A = this chain, B = another copy of it.
Amino acid sequence: MGKLVTGAAATYVEEMWVETPKRRMITPITQDVQKIITQSGITDGLVLVNPMHITASVYVNDLEYGLHEDIMDWLERVAPFGGLDGNNGAEYRHHRTGEDNGDAHLKRQLLGHQVTMPVQNGRLHLGPWEQIHYAEFDGQRRKRILVKVVGLIEE
């Protein structure tokens, strides 16, 4: 059996700033998202975690550093920095704009750009190994992650 909850409708939004020391880097953010949910006072609903920049992903998977490296290797294999045909990225048409981050735009789509997670009793409602991560593919500058909670507060 499931569980029904009713209450007053509410939303809460916060933009979290991040700046990764490396260009490509995975950072666990489950606790940051939980803090925002706690601040919101929203006890039940959904939380959207969405990078506001288009060369990064938010994803849910194991918090295991070997896997983090596997993910980065795999993304590089499938969406290489050097371009689809090698040649130092020369064939990414996006680079005609002066950018060198064509791969970052593709890696973000491959890993998945955003997640929506459940909230119950004021807490992320997670399985035993579900952890929220921020994956940066063109970092070393200040960027934002939007956290939006939509649900119920006690009346």
Interface residue ranges, A against B (CB under 8 Å): 1-14, 36, 39-41, 44-46, 48, 50-54, 59-62, 64-67, 69-71, 73-74, 77-79, 84, 92-97, 102, 105-106, 108-118, 120, 125-130, 144, 146-148, 150-153
Interface on chain A toward B: helix, strand, loop, or mixed SS? Answer: mixed
Residues in B neighbouring A120, C-beta threshold 8 A: 13
The reply to whether A48 and B118 form a contact with Cβ atoms under 8 Å apart is yes
The reply to whether B114 and A61 form a contact with Cβ atoms under 8 Å apart is no
A61-B108, A102-B67, A127-B144 known; A4-B74 Cβ under 8 A: no
The reply to whether B125 and A146 form a contact with Cβ atoms under 8 Å apart is yes
Instruction: Report the nearest B residue to A44, measured CB to CB.
Output: B11
